[in-house]
Amino acid sequence: MAKATARHILVSSEDKCNELKAQIEGGADFAEVAKTNSSCPSSRQGGDLGSFGPGQMVKEFDTVVFSAPINVVQGPVKTQFGYHLLEVTSRQD
């Protein structure tokens, strides 16, 4: 059974999401950016979502998490909750 671990940042606008992605790509620490900007409760853990399998997250997450390269920030990814930056930290297929 496939499993992945990932972390994310949730914000309300695509512009804010792109701004934060640029900060991270410029060297800012993902976890610190998550703690100060993400509206998800996971922000307290630096955006860490833990381990999960296919179908346990919204469809848009699944698509990215189970196909994107490891340790590369993806996004903005739009869901019913807002705009996300996603980083897959490990995956077992």
Residue 49 has pLDDT above 90, yes or no: yes
4-46, pLDDT tens digit by residue? 999 999 999 999 999 999 999 999 999 999 999 999 999 999 9
pTM of the full predicted structure? 0.95
From residue 24, alpha-carbon distances to 1, 8, 34, 51, 76 in Å are: 31, 12, 10, 23, 13
